Amino acid sequence: KSAKRGAKLFERAALKAGKTPDQAKDVEAALVAEFGTLYEAFERIAAGAPCEKAGKQWAAALEEVAKQEIKPKKVEVRATLTLQSYAPDGIGDVKKILGEIAKSGVAVHYVGAPQYYLTVTAGDYKTAEKALDAVETKLSAAKNVEYSMERAKK
């Protein structure tokens, strides 16, 4: 299935570059040699990988088709956060910590009195998990607050 899709995308790129399928054989072989499959080549080009073996005209056409047709993979990791403070200025502490979390690229959603929902969107699970670990590190370093964080089940 991905081989057919890669071939169709390559045909569109050839038309954009103004080449016939016979003229495109060399570039097709170079892409397969460099990336493994045509579809893999388009995925990597869409992610920003350069294609040195194709000429400038080809590179522009391949990049345009890849960016139009291939959406980058995204994963979401979610967690439920319970955050409380019994200090006299506790609400200020909670707001400050939530602001720091939001600045680090984690979406914070208010659920109800001490509960918040955290959502991290990233290209892979490893990066998303690292972001949640960084949030937990910030929370453990914070003073005058109690917290518990539980990752949501997939």
Count CB neighbours of 142 within 10 A. 17
What tokens were used for 65? 């088709």
Distance of alpha carbon 105 from alpha carbon 8, whole angstroms: 36
What's the CATH number for 2-69? Answer: 1.10.150
Domain boundary assignment for the chain: 2-69, 75-151
Tokens of residue 68, six digits: 């139009």
For residue range 81-111, list pLDDT tens digits in order: 999 888 888 888 888 999 999 998 899 999 9
pLDDT digits (tens, 9 = 90+) for 72-83: 788 899 999 999
Mean pLDDT, to the nearest integer, of 21-49? 79
How far is residue 111's CA from residue 138's CA, in Å, rounded to a whole number? Answer: 21
Alpha carbon distances (Å) from 1 to 8, 24, 39, 142: 11, 21, 10, 51
**pLDDT score of 52 more than 70:** no
Q: What is the CATH number of domain 75-151?
A: 3.30.70.1130
What pTM, to 2 d.p., does this model score?
0.61
> What kind and span of H or E run contains 6?
helix 2-17
Name the strand (E) or helix (H) holding 56: helix 56-69
CB–CB of 45/37 below 8 Å?
no
